[in-house]
Structure 1
Amino acid sequence: MSRPLHAPPQRPYYIEAPAYRRTSAGIRVMHLLCHLLNRSGHDAWLYPTAATNPLWHTPILTPQLAQQHAQAGRQPITVYPEVIPGNPRHGGSVVRYLLNRPGLIGGDAEFPASDLIFAYTQHLLPAGENPEHVLFMPPIDSSIFHNRDNPHEEQRQGWLMYPGRHAAALEERQELAARCTLITSTWPASPQEMAEVLRRSERVFCFESTSIALEAVLCGCPATILPSPLFNGTPLGIEELGTHGLAFDDTPQALQDAIAGIPIAQEKYAAAESRFWDQLEVFIRDTQAMPYTPVAASRPEQSIAQKNAPIQHWLDQRQLGEAQSRLIAQRLEAHAPCAPRIDFIVLPGTDPSAARTTLHSLKAQGYPHVGIHIAPSTDVDALNALATQSAAQWLCFVQAGTKLTPAGITHLALELMDAPGCRAACADEIVHEPTGEISTLLRPDFNLDMLLSWPAGMARHWFFRRDAFLEAGGFDAAFAGAREFALLLRLIETGGLAGLGHVHEPLFIAAPRRLPTTRTKWPPSKGTCAPAATSRRSWTPACPAATACCTGTRRSPWCPSSWPRTSRPWRSAACAPSARRPATRTTKSCGRPARRAATTWCCSAMASPSCRRAGSTRCSTMRCGPRWASWAPSCCARTAPSSTRAWCWGCAARRSILSWAPM
């Protein structure tokens, strides 16, 4: 059959897909769609992503290439999976490829009428849509996952369990988990190793409709899908493959029926592979005929996307590769008894969808020893009750709507395994502003002065060892608005700074915590945790005139002048008074003597001459510049040569600490 040499160009496909991960069937399908469209003679690209399959033809779309297409009049077709909300790429022709129930694990539950809907299986296709718009793409490589010439067929032994996103299965079915070998996102490390394990095993237990169940059936191993919140009783692909080879309860009869159905499932899968090419032709035919309506991104959106690009690229590069995943899996397997169990307690918010976002993010983590609990309220007694009931070694309290980076918990767990004396630990964060802009919150190792000067950034999303949490009495109802801050201060009072750790990896993606800008009255109320803590440490409160010494937007009711000399962050003579005045000497600013002897001075006395000038509010360290002038109170702006690496309290409050003198 002859083909024309100069055929008219077809419209290109731009496909949105996360970084390639072998363990995610949905991600594999999106990457495979790009590969197969290219194999079919069409042009398809993936939007920039951190990882692709090197064995597939999945090129990355660049801005230069997109601009060339626009100049040539090639109207792209944008393909989104159902988990992507809205139209973030501003595509003029949008195709929604439903790989799961819309809104179940993210994205919108309904779509604009202009979007063309295709579904992975028949039962996912919304009512009223074209019944031909089913694109069932068998995601499993049957050249790897098969049971041909299996020498272990007659001597299979051992059970497997894959909890997947239902991490609570390990706690709910402890006896079953004790009998099974656990499949994780990092073990087995390759498809070949997974197929070999399945060809040796008797059965596998799952808790959702997952491709691992189908991989097991193709390898001759029956799969049992047990009830869970993630499984509604209907496996994906039931119209295309049926339920052959699957059991839905742990009974001998269900197991026998599943074993008897394995040959039928293997035949149906081979037929589905052949049928796919006809479905792909329908996909190409109908998408190429779509109308194109240009959607211009607004300038603020373009500006935000440009600002976020470097940080987003940095996050994408922190995805675990195959070699890293293999090494991590080996280490976790070798030190399985020491692997920390972490319980996340999700605090409810006003938006019901926010909790689903956090749950989906937690369930997508590759670390198996994670428990998830939804708090009935933010009441301190309810949170303490959940902590008491927990069987985990570590506790973390997160607000609904907070997301986690893909490998963050794994990094944290590896660090905690090597820190048996750790009582509490924090990690770095990504701050997601309401405008859509993101920024980094890269904390240093634990620093008491920073904790006191900026509790909103330094005292949230801590991981507390459960026994230390309970020994300290849990959260204090008197400080319900600063639960973690007050608890950290109590831990410091009882055990000092020992055992307070920091993991140098971004873990949470969360909205910033807003603090009131009103000045706190003096003397502080009994419900103010920091002055209460300082009084228990015999740190005398500052004089009334020193209440102007504040930490930017947080008007702190205590002053550095009342801290022990060893806790002050400045080390320069320019920041201290030229002649250190004894504490009994009366200062001109307040007319009252300081209350401690030989170790503290009034705040006004500590300020340099340039700081004491009337109306002086600019940080003179030349590290924050005039941008933060309004945040540096006049009595706190320090003057120091750049070589001293000093900083001012205004910088601390605005998260602009570039460096500080070591303690």
Structure 2
Amino acid sequence: MMNKKFKYPYLITAPGYIESSLGIQVMHRLCHLINQHGGEAYVVSSLTNPEWNTPQLTIEKYNEYKESGKVFIAIYPEIESGNPLEAPVCVRYMLNKEGVMNGNNIDAGEDDLFFFYRQEFAENEANANLLMISTYDLSVFCDDVAEKDLDLLYLNRVPRNAVDFSTLPENIKVLSMKQPLSLNELAKVLKRGRVMYSYESSGTCALAGLCGCPVVARVALGYEKYAITEHTSKDVGNADVAWDDSPQELERVKANLYKYKEFFEGLESVSNQQIFTFLDITQDKAQDFYDSNYKENVVRWVEQQTLSPERVALVSKNINELVSPQTIYVCIYDSSKSWHAVLTTLESLLPVNRMYSRLNCIVFTDEKYTLSKDFDSWVSLHETTKLSATIKDITIEQCFNWLQYVRAGVTFIADRFFSAMCYLNKVSEYSAIYPDKIFINDSDELESAFLPNFSIDYFLGYPHAFFVGCFFHQSIFRDNIFYNEVLPDSFDFDILIRVVTEKGNSSIGHFPEPLLISDSKKELNIDSSKIEQLVGRYLSEKGYVNSLILHNASGGCRIVYGHNKDLPKISIIVIDNGNVSLLQRCVMGVLEKSKYTHYEVLILSCYTEIEENRYWLEEVSKIDPNRIKVILSPYQESRARLNNIAANQASGDYLLLLDVAVFPVHDEWLENLVNHCLRDDVGCVGSKVINLNKKIYSAGMVLGLNGVGESPFLGSDYLAPGYMHRLAIEQNYSALPLLCLLVKRSVYQYVGGVDESLAEGYLADIDLSLKIRDAGYLSVWTPYSIVATDLSPEKNDRNNEACSEQERAIYHKWGDIIANDPAYNKNLSLTRDYRIEKYIRPRELSLEPQRLPRIMLFSGGCNPIEIYRLDEPFYKMRYNGMVEGAVASDSLVISDFLQTKPDVIITQNYIQSRKIIDFKSMKDCFSIYDMNYYESRNFDDSKNKKEYLNKIKENLASFDRVIVGAEALAEQYGRVHHDIQVLPTYLPHFWNDLALKGRGSDKPRVGCITLDLSDEDIELVSNVIRDFFHHVTWVFLGAYPPKLKPFIHEYHRYHGFTHYPQQLASLNLDFAIAPLADNHANRARSNIRLLEFGICGIPVICSDVLCYKGSLSVNAVKNRYKDWSSAMSQYIHDVDSARKVGAVLKSEVQENWMLNQKNLEIIKKIWLPR
């Protein structure tokens, strides 16, 4: 059983286990140690050590990880390139320097973790993580043989022909991987060794020392990189080696051989500490990946959506100035008899009350509390026994417009309450309104509860989701039925179901924003018998006196209606697709697995020319001619056409459209569909479709998901409850697929059947469902009718793909409901079902004095230029109430666009131009392309320049404006677009919050950020780096040419933009260099690197190129050695003066180059059409 702390598994790639390779042993041993310490690890290897706990990874286990989306950690030795296991988290275990063993480039990702077996392998890397794993058995490798009679030579990476054997003793014994020895055999040889010559640093040298055999270090011409050095000896506790084979040198080394044993005896405790550090770091990395990609980060989502105090104040002012603003009473039930819980709720409402005086509270409690002055003017205390009487009194006195009921301990999200007040002051058609909420789950984590618009079937099946935080209109309390004999424990549910019973489904509204945070265990703790009683009362009122209420495994209710009607005849329609085996399985499954027997089967076929099909159709029709009918068509017809033909010839009152690739898996599948379809308000009912691996193939359809629509929960376990139990509860969807759909024949005919002009099948399914909905009928999906298929689910991938004509037609016909599916929620993603949309969505504040300009950005949120130029300016403007809108990923679908209804769309990817054309065909909007680079080789090549410009012109034709970050770009592209604007790049305010350390090293620390530098840029200063090696400490963040490695003192890996600001600040630089070659590409750059250094107070020496010209206090030099050298010397000899320049630069950046209000106004002006 895996330790809960180490919950993410490890997959370790390694060659097959052999005792003659220390590196291979280490990889296998690491797997063993992870498992020994309570983790879960597998080796990807052909052979393992049977004495170690190293299970081999099976293809089944790997597929389980991949298909489930489970986060796992791959550990690759340095001989492995890339990420062959496609792991979410990669660890590089450096058992040698990169490329030494295989000559390969590791091709690591920027998020990869690095661990080094020895310090020498880390070279100049700063803050290197070490992981030294000993595989040596000191009882085997020990000096217990007195007679030393062998001279040894160790060869592995150095070939024999590189060794001058004339300089070695005669009859020397060669230890080579070509003739590998077992560990026991190797120990016996080493114990007899007088001396071992080695041309390379290796673990075998340490084993020789343990066995009392001194090692003589040699260097082979051309293989110097493998040689033993004084530095490598540090990795075995400074145990010495001989630098020649003179008797005096050998005696010196023999006297120190004891250090090997001391080192390896102490290594075990060091190794244990390092393995735990390794586990902590790698598990934290995997948890971060899970949190970013899978876990709902509800707190961050709420923070992103928060309104500024200024915007809240403006909205509050407008509400208070209404002719008759709504008065709201919040009733707080002290169910836990806790003043702390009551106070938590009241304090969360305090900022709302201070800005909106028409908010009042009643606390229903049996305890004696004293209210402080913060609350005594708007909060009153009443006994719980007087709940009904109190509500009656305030209704008669007309004290309120809306009453809300919550349990003490609930925390209101203040600015969401202001949004709710806007909503409540606008609507008048509802008797009750339920909000979205955030629950604290059993693990004390926050999880969203984002609900659909009112769904009667979902409500009856899982009422807990709806009643928490409900608002009730005062008009309903004029009727005694709404508060007589209502108990505090179930007040909100009782009132809500009475409203549904008396006023109907259309009287229930939905406020689609999370209004409060609540403990789900407390809020949902209503006795199941009480729920059964209230739901039963509703069913009786609706005439279902024989109904049954059953409870499912997920805690929800299942309704069996017990209809007082004759069971209708069902016409089951199956369309032959030419595959007779599928047809047999489908039809015979119906005949053999249907407890409901009042049906006929209509088989429509266009494949009579296939003898096997024709023969089987003839035979099956003989089984029961009254029940099984075969309809043959001489022509190839569409599925839609054949369904309509069958519907006209069917004799049943209900049609079951059954895909030929689908078959029943239990005998109640059909009667569970009929259970709902007999209801007067239902038009069609759909089944849960699973594949042969018991995974979800189809579970209803979410409109707008990954295009026009798609099934949610694809690939989930068929018994999983799903988000808010939506995979386990009967509910109403806006659209259902025709895989297994029961529909009233009269309704089918009324809406005109399936649209035969829609060749793309799933579009016809959606169109039929929406026509049924438009006719006033419900579509019900039930998880209790399960059918199966061996089809593979096909997720729509519409990224960078233009709409088809038929899709465009569906969008035009049904665009509003596709973009705002009432069975889904606007806060949930349209590219990842039932995940909170991590990108910004517009906030609806209907009482703002004027509609804010609405902007939609395409941004992946990972590229620093997108963050600087798009994301951060938008977030800041939105917070300040300057604009509204959305930030969406590059996988944006048209439904996102239709939902946001932007006035302006902005992207940095002109590949999106096809999407922009689609968008503008749906809704007119202003489109902007933010351009920040160009390909210099095309401008330098006069032959291709014209062709390149024409291509750019074509790509930009769909944009109304082009924004560039530099004048050089504006000049170059002025000929390809009619509206080009220059907009500088500004620094977000998170750069102001960095923790800067004091500088005080002996030599100046000089930094260079190479993240976006070319080899040409770095070559400009390569001689400067070399010549000033002894005068400064060179600190590089990012890669550099290998030839500079001897001169770089510290190398820091880039950990991604999220960590970059603090990473830069932590380098503690005295000054920095920013070299750029003077070429087209660099002239068009922004000065952002200077701004980053500047905000950290780091003085800069930079190339005197166009992009770095301006008013900033930097030392710009010509790209000549003497100028760079002179500037370096100046700063080295007067660091204090340099620091003063850095302080001036910081002040300039803070004053002119931050995203302050002045610069936001500049951005807004350029972003909006004139």
| TM-score category, normalised to shorter length | 0.3 to 0.5
> RCO greater where, 1 or 2, for CA within 8 Å and sep 6 or more?
1
When normalised by structure 1's length, the TM-score is 0.40
TM-score between the two structures when normalised by the length of structure 2:
0.23
More strand by share: 2
